Chains A and B, each alone.
Chain A
Amino acid sequence: MSESLATLEAQLHSLWMQSLDGDSACYERVLTLLSGYLRSFLRNRLQSRLNDVEDLVQETLMAIHQKRHTYQSDQPLTAWVYAIARYKWVDHLRAHGRRESLHDDIDDWAETLSVDGTQDSSDAQRDLEQVLAELPAKQREAIEHTRLQGLSISETAERTGQSEASVKVNIHRGLKTLMAKWGVQQ
């Protein structure tokens, strides 16, 4: 492992461990960093379908979120993320009947990690507003207040008359439903 990769691993790992302890600001930061690397990783591999890149970045992020209980702290975080990204990419190729070469190895990932991953993100094809409208009212409220209006959990609880615990649960359930609607399997 090159020195810069080791530094990066250490940085991501410590952010990630704080995130798992419930620090959502750290979580947002680590997901943002990862999304940059995922974007350049997937862009290199989906050259004939660049339109799909952002969709797949988002799908991979959702998978990372849903499968975060499978990460164990003794394992390199970058290897864990790489394996998920690769799985999602292969799955995508299969679903779209692409014949692009499946040859891939972790050295390319290391290369991806050493470039600057902060390229502009573009819009994916899924529409948040549209799916939000189909959620049960309490879940929609909880998500809209915290995310779209940037309120804290306690402010949301105050405005909606839900308890803080149930705001958390409603966000959790709402996200689960959203992902199911986007076809992300559990």
Chain B
Amino acid sequence: MKTQDLIGLLASDTLQTRLPARQQLTRPVLIGGLVCAALMAGLWGINPQLQEMVMRPAFIIKMLWLLSLMGFSVYGLLRLSRPGMKAGHTWTGLGLSWLAMLSLGLLQSWQTDAGERAAQWMGDSWQVCSVNIAALSLPVLGALLWALHQLAPTRPALTGAVAGVMAGSLAASIYSLHCTETSFAFFSLWYGAGIVAVGLLGAVLGPRCLRW
């Protein structure tokens, strides 16, 4: 076929049915988030002391931290899903957010008696926390990868990784409604590990799922 014929063919298609990146990414986050919340409530239940917990600075700071991780991931996804845009400040933002939480953890640990430090880093639930967050994030990650496939990511591994961090942070914020931990050290270590694991999974899945 002549290229000019193809061009004529393409020009005759005047319907523009696809939504721009922002709208396409909102849906998977909402749907994934709802599925995730239902799973969390069904599997583990909401922390009975939640009402009292949400007023504490530890909880509020943790949520702000997760929000900033989500903010930087969304910023990254909106850029990486469009050809010709680089990741920009995505990794700097994500890295600094995590370092901020780690510094709070170290500061807290430094002010605590040596005997209690281990308990602060390990909490009561270190065996399950990262695994739970990673498991909860799967529906969000799946929905995000599906939506990104409709867009045009030219760097699939990187895009997958950021999608993983987004899914992990959203799952972590939903898991927070169940989790009873209150130390920054614990958050930076075990929440961080769960989110990084999902990021790595996304980096592996990206090149396989995001071809177009």
Fill in one digit per residue for A50-73: 1 if any B CB lies within 8 Å of its CB, else 0.
000010011001110111111110
Q: Out of B3, B11, B15, B212, which one reaches A57, CB within 8 Å?
A: B3
The binding surface of chain A is classed by DSSP as: helix
Fill in one digit per residue for A65-95: 1 if any B CB lies within 8 Å of its CB, else 0.
1111111100110011111101100010000
- Which residue of chain B is the closest to A75 with respect to CB atoms? B84
A159 on the B face (CB < 8 A): no
Query: Which B residues are CB-close (under 8 A) to A27?
Result: 10-11
Q: Out of B12, B19, B20, B85, which one reaches A143, CB within 8 Å?
A: B12
Please list the residues of chain A having a beta carbon within 8 angstroms of any beta carbon in chain B.
Answer: 20, 22, 24-25, 27-28, 31-32, 35, 54, 57-58, 61-63, 65-72, 75-76, 79-84, 86-87, 91, 121, 123-124, 126-128, 143, 146-147, 168-169, 171-172, 175, 178, 185-186
Query: Which A residues are CB-close (under 8 A) to B117?
Result: none
Please determine whether A72 and B82 come into contact, CB atoms closer than 8 angstroms.
yes
- Which residue of chain A is the closest to B20 with respect to CB atoms? A69
In this complex, how many residues of chain B approach chain A with their Cβ under 8 Å: the count is 33
A-B contact pairs, 7 of them (CB 8 A): A62-B6, A65-B13, A70-B151, A72-B21, A80-B84, A84-B84, A91-B211
- Which residue of chain A is the closest to B11 with respect to CB atoms? A28
Please determine whether B154 and A124 come into contact, CB atoms closer than 8 angstroms.
no
Given the known A-B contacts A67-B151, A69-B18, are A79 and B84 also in contact in the complex, defined by CB atoms under 8 Å? yes
Please determine whether A62 and B13 come into contact, CB atoms closer than 8 angstroms.
no
